[in-house]
Amino acid sequence: MAEPAISTGGESAALPDPRGFWGLVLHAHLPFVRHPQHEHFLEEDWFYEAVIETYLPLLRMMDNLDRDRVRFRLTLTLSPPLLAMMQDSLLLTRCQRRLDGLLRLASKEARRTSSEDGAFHEATLAAERDLSALKELFVATHRRDLVGAFSRHRATGSIEILTCAATHAFLPLMSHTEEAVRAQIQVAVADFERIFGYHAEGIWLPECGYFEGIETLLVEAGLRYSFLEAHGVTDASPSPSFGVMAPILSTGGIAFFGRDLESSRQVWSSEAGYPGDPDYREFYKDAGYELPIEDLLEFMNPDEPRRPVGLKRHRVSGKVALHHKQPYVRDWALGRVAAHAAHFANERAQQTERARSVMPHPPFIVSPYDAELFGHWWYEGPQFLEQVFRNLADRGDVVAATPPEYLGRFDECELTTPHLSTWGEEGYASVWLNEANDWIYPHYDAAARRMIRLANRFPEAGGLLTRALNQAARELMLAQSSDWAFIMRSGTMVQYATERLIGHLQCFADLASGIEEGTLDEERVASAEAEWPIFPAMDYRVFASRPR
């Protein structure tokens, strides 16, 4: 039997009184990638793709709902590296150039296909129209200020914005160096407040990686809630009475919301998930692999391997080879969006009805997803979410809510200790610790301990020494990104991930040696600062040991 309910101290929120609540959580993160010395850099494309295919379409969804006065709520993680890229003038300029180039390519293809198969021409025109609308949104409506655009929706109460660990480090494998975990949390919280002007209430633990005791560091940073994979809650001790249908309060003082597997499976599953519908747009068939290379020089160098550029004009068409994919028909896809959104809303209503029959208060179904699923991987995803919100607003039996809203209404949570857990394959960190990447962790550990010693040794540095210590902290944190271990495990872009990790650790080691030996070189420090302009308010003393 679970412990008695404990109040989280939330304030009452003005929510309707439905049978249940649904919480959409979108985790938006990319590793910090910036290479100004290269005209075309493959890994920089990750940011441009995410902006054009996910973040702008999500903003369009929010703008549409606001325009029509449809109530919606969602929780959005914007990781510190992603926020840094969203505010980088070089990357924003290149992103606009990418969008302009895509629009030119689509327009050229629309002219070329005008005398070909009518369905393929219509698919090309649909792509051209969408790119034109996204350019208008990016340049004219939001003036390339994505952070400001999301902030305006937050100001209306429609979205809750969360922070994440500073560089999305996988914290459970750093738990034996508490100072390094604290630094990842404290730097993220401080950077969030610098950018948004208020203190974050919640945090997304990278990869949903939880270990017992992290709550102490979260509470110390002024955080109130986070999220766990389902078994992190259901395997908690003692076992909570309502599983993931209600938040728990950990013995360390943090409210945790568990991921609902049923709603997640309907979107994520490769077999039963909505994105695999034959009428949706095919992700893998892209003009970057098909058009003459001379038509693609705005996107890649002629001697490089082919890669996607973002112009896609085919539909899934069922389980057939790529060369058998049929032209995309926008109206058919929107018809499936309507059907799937209605199904999703109905399923949540049935789910809450089942849970409500055994709960003293309405359940809270929490559905976390990687933000890039919507728009990038699943082109129609933002339209699906928009229609789900419209359906819920019409129905009224399930109401969209954010975690603070729910805690404000139902602020008593069962006291329990979550279980060590992650999301991802097998649920216990195997993605981030395996034979492909286990070699990195001794280096992480040694560098973290060295940084801690430096912070303890120089509590009141000044001038060039302070700059070098701050940059050493940045380099260590950039090396700690969980993205590098993930990429090594997945087998894609392994060379880039390895070079980035080793490069940051080598720069850290060079700076640390210069600090320890009193041989700092101002030019070397300035070069490192310019190469990776992130965390402008970094204070290396965040790595200093605290009195016990």
Residue 36: is its pLDDT beyond 60?
A: yes
Mean pLDDT to the nearest integer, 359-381: 97
118: exposed, middle or buried (Cβ count in 10 Å: 0-12, 13-18, 19+): exposed
CA-based torsion, 106, 37, 465, 498: positive or negative? positive
Q: Are 139 and 149 within 8 A, CB to CB?
A: no
Residue 547: is its pLDDT beyond 90?
A: no
Mean pLDDT to the nearest integer, 502-516: 98
pTM value? 0.95
Q: Sorting pLDDT into bands at 50, 70 and 90, what band is 548?
A: low
Q: Are 223 and 200 within 8 A, CB to CB?
A: yes
CB-based contacts of 153-156 (< 8 A; 24+ apart in sequence): 153/59, 153/62, 153/66, 154/196, 156/66
**Mean pLDDT over the full length of the chain:** 95
Residue 11: is its pLDDT beyond 70?
A: no
Mean pLDDT to the nearest integer, 4-8: 45
**Which pLDDT does position 270 carry in this prediction?**
65
| Rounded Cα distance, 330 and 280, in Å | 8
Kindly compute the dihedral angle of the four CA atoms of residues 424, 430, 434, 440, in this order, to the nearest 10 degrees. Answer: 80
Mark out the alpha helices in 291-378 (DSSP H runs). Answer: 330-356
Q: Are 449 and 476 within 8 A, CB to CB?
A: no
Nearest one of 234, 244, 243, 245 to 19, comparing CA atoms: 245
Q: Sorting pLDDT into bands at 50, 70 and 90, what band is 15?
A: low
Beginning with the edge strand found earlier in the chain, give each strand of the sheet holding 255-258 in spatial order.
5-7, 412-416, 248-250, 255-258, 225-228
Q: Sorting pLDDT into bands at 50, 70 and 90, what band is 268?
A: confident
Match domain 433-543 to its CATH number in 1.20.1430.10, 3.40.50.300, 3.30.70.330, 3.10.180.10.
1.20.1430.10
CB-based contacts of 317-324 (< 8 A; 24+ apart in sequence): 317/278, 317/282, 318/278, 322/282, 322/284, 322/285
Mean pLDDT to the nearest integer, 146-158: 97
Mean pLDDT to the nearest integer, 182-198: 98
Strand 248-250 to strand 255-258: parallel, antiparallel, or no bridges (unpaired)? antiparallel
Residues 160-176: pLDDT tens digits?
Answer: 999 999 999 999 999 99
DSSP state letters, 355-385: HHTT-SS--EEEEEEEGGGBTTTBTTHHHHH
For 248, phi then psi, to 5°, come to: -110, 160
Q: Sorting pLDDT into bands at 50, 70 and 90, what band is 533?
A: very high
367 to 257, 258, 260, 349, 424: CA distances (angstroms) = 10, 9, 6, 14, 15
**In the chain, domain spans:** 5-426, 433-543
Q: Sorting pLDDT into bands at 50, 70 and 90, what band is 21?
A: very high
**Which pLDDT does position 14 carry in this prediction?**
56
Nearest one of 53, 17, 140, 24 to 386, comparing CA atoms: 24
Mean pLDDT to the nearest integer, 426-454: 96
**Which pLDDT does position 387 carry in this prediction?**
98
Pair of tokens at residue 244: 């993931």
**Which pLDDT does position 514 carry in this prediction?**
98
End-to-end CA distance of the chain: 34
**Which pLDDT does position 39 carry in this prediction?**
87
Residues 92-148: pLDDT tens digits?
Answer: 999 999 999 999 999 999 999 998 778 999 999 999 999 999 999 999 999 999 999
Residue 381: is its pLDDT beyond 90?
A: yes
Greatest pairwise CA separation for the chain in angstroms:
76
Q: Are 5-426 and 433-543 in the same CATH fold?
A: no
Residue 411: is its pLDDT beyond 90?
A: no
Topology of the domain comprising 5-426:
7-stranded beta/alpha barrel (3.20.110)
Residue 283: is its pLDDT beyond 50?
A: yes
Mean pLDDT to the nearest integer, 287-301: 95
**Which pLDDT does position 16 carry in this prediction?**
61
Pair of tokens at residue 111: 């002219």
The more confidently predicted of residues 345 and 424 is 345
| % of the chain exceeding 90 in pLDDT | 92
Residues 208-249: pLDDT tens digits?
Answer: 999 999 999 999 999 999 999 999 999 999 999 999 999 999
Q: Sorting pLDDT into bands at 50, 70 and 90, what band is 531?
A: very high
* Residue 535 backbone class (left: φ over 0; alpha: ψ -120 to 50; beta: rest): left
Mean pLDDT to the nearest integer, 164-193: 97
